[in-house]
Structure 1
Amino acid sequence: MSRIAKFAFVVTFLSFVGCDYINPEEEIPAYLTIEDITVNEEYAQLTDAWVYVNENLVGVFELPAHFPVLEQGNSNIRVVPGIKVNGIAVSRGPYPFYQHWETEVNLEPGKTTTLEPETSFREGLNFRWEEIFESASTTIEPYDSAQTVIIKTDTISDAPSSTAGLIIIEPDSTIRVQSVEQYSLPSDRDVYLELSYKTDHYFEFAWHIQNLSDGSIREARIYQFNPTDGWEHIYIYLSNFIDDYNVVNNQFRFLFGSNNLTSETKHIYLDNIRLIHY
């Protein structure tokens, strides 16, 4: 065989087998769709689904989500509810107090399965502070002004529950309210404060830390809330702040405050306040 014939044979052979070796046939995935994760509790705002297939993490998907899965056949699907930690879009994480949701799915290449996950609070949680504004009295009181009043109202059509708390900020005035109780908090487990809110004005969330040895009190700002178009729900991770203090010698009281320098009356609505840890 001439050298030209040999070269032609090699090229012809590679055209049949080489492409499969260099560009192997791609596996056809199955697909999963998750529109939302239903919370069987009060108002929540879950943003992500952490999805495990046969205990392998296939991805973290912003809801609603449609995504491929390379597994095939009968498979275990586990969905972990995810949140924006501290309301920050780039700080995502699973919420440790919601149950995981699991199901068995027969994954078929090219076919889409729609999942409808549900979740609720885990057992064994310690709800240290819970204010849903349904009792005759509230667990929030004025801090330094008798004129600051939080009003229970049931006239808000878009409220997440039947009643909510309303703080009215008159023009050129300052308001501050605080939790009635102060709390001892753990440093060895996750601690979150979550709440629903709607506001047409900036306000701040802070806490007072009282040293039980000498009675001294310090104040530290934690978060600033911006005006919203509607109701929002936020999950504030407190453990990073708690690490700055000796929890044996300190107790914590929570505050909300705002300074209205405008000529218009402003409003802050609060609901579903929960201080949670294991």
Structure 2
Amino acid sequence: MSAEPQDAGSVVLVHHGDNGVSRITFNRPRQRNAMNRAARVGIVRALDECRGRSKVVILTGNGPAFCAGVDLKEGEVSTGDAELDRRTEWAAVQEEIRSHPAIVIAAVNGFALGGGSTLINVADLAVAANEAAIGMPEIGFGLYPTLAGPAAQLRIGPKRAAWMVLTAERIDGATAAEWGLVNLAVPLDKLHDEVTALAERVASFDATGLEWSKRGLWKIPGEISEWTSAIAYGHEVADEIRARSTVLAEGLGRFAAGERNPGQG
């Protein structure tokens, strides 16, 4: 990656590479990268900046934390722009990530608490440091974790989600990988290289194929869980890719000619 990090309001840094990979870094290390309004605005603006130029977006944190969730000390703060305020509510930020055409990879470098764990679950892929500490402290305040709870319940088994919601105990990266909360756990000093290699591998594929595959992954089984309907939607996705890109036809042509396509090894 060649471009220098750009300052998106200092609390969020953006680094665009020349290989289709961008990195968004949460930059409030003293606050464990808790999401105040400025940080949420920074994320949304950074995602807008990545739209159309990045195949893969890495989310990570500066310092010992990935993200400690929403900054509860700030209170209600408005940007003065009603539409931007709407887009930067915490639930809306998750939808910005979920609906973004790029594949989003969470690089969980440290504490991921409350809304920080939500970011792991809304990311398409996730790699955690073994040393990461992932948890939901909300029950300690007498609360159900409004976003983090449902996000975990949709991503991992019910007893494991219940453990996180009801005990407030933190799990490390290795446990998160065992539970399926992340794809892979590695030592902290290997996290950057592992995530970069994964991002570059994903970015080597066609942008249209990646975008529509991401849509399919969110649609099934999130919205479609019946077999026949799911298969029919799979055909719809393939048709959409064919209509928007020649890469599928080209790949099938190479396969018929006995040539290897990217990813075949």
TM-score tier, shorter chain, comes to under 0.3
Structure of higher RCO (CA pairs closer than 8 Å, 6+ residues apart) = 1
Q: Answer 1 or 2: which has greater helix percent.
A: 2
TM-score, normalising length: structure 2: 0.20
Instruction: Report the TM-score, using the length of structure 1 for normalisation.
Output: 0.20
Q: Point out the structure with max Rg over C-alpha.
A: 1
Higher strand residue share = 1
